[in-house]
Amino acid sequence: MRYFILSAFMMLIASWTFAQKFGHVNSALLVQNHPGITAANTELEAFRLSMTEPFEVKTKAFQSKYQFFMEEMQAGTLSKVTADTRQAELAKEQEDLSQEGQQIQYSIMQKRDQILQPILLQVDSMITVIGKEGKYTMIFDNSGNGAVLVSNPSEDVTDAVKAKLGIK
């Protein structure tokens, strides 16, 4: 009796193990080929330029001020007090520009996330649909974002997701 129960349990575990179905997908390729990615990239580039072009003008103006200050220092036309005051002003302006540059980069990253969110949600949704339709136990992302280094053969579902997304 004990042998029978153990055998039945082992068969149940074996059937469960063999019933698992695994797939993999390249999500980066799906996002890169998504029909909306061109418009998203265009919108992001326009936003980036709207943020960076005025900043570049400020940076060039600062560089000109700094260059003029250095020329005056080398010529010896500034008093010690004036030189110290101007140097402190330039240091403050440089610090402000640095902070503004960091804020611009952060804003660009936030805008990128906002613009790509609908595309990423659609890709994830289609992967989920394919997973349910194909009765996959797990689908791994092999686009370099995942942590799977070695795996047994699995079915590539990238083309199935592409078809659902209308990607050729």
Q: At residue 149, does pLDDT exceed 50?
A: no
pLDDT in tens, 58-114: 999 999 999 999 999 999 898 999 999 999 999 999 999 999 999 999 999 999 999
Q: What pLDDT, on the 0 to 100 scale, is given for residue 140?
A: 83
pLDDT in tens, 33-65: 999 999 999 999 999 999 999 999 999 999 999
CATH class, range 15-165: alpha beta
Q: What pLDDT, on the 0 to 100 scale, is given for residue 159?
A: 86
Domain regions of the chain by residue span? 15-165
Longest dimension (CA), the chain: 105
pLDDT in tens, 110-136: 999 999 999 999 998 998 898 888 888
Q: pLDDT band at 150, cuts 50/70/90?
A: very low
Give CA–CA dist 125/116, Å, rounded. 14
Q: What pLDDT, on the 0 to 100 scale, is given for residue 6?
A: 57
At a CB cut-off of 8 Å and minimum separation 6, what does 89 contact? none
In the chain, which ranges are continuous DSSP H helix?
2-18, 27-32, 37-75, 80-133, 158-165
- Output 141 or 147, whichever has higher pLDDT: 141
Q: What pLDDT, on the 0 to 100 scale, is given for residue 41?
A: 97
Give CA–CA dist 113/44, Å, rounded. 10
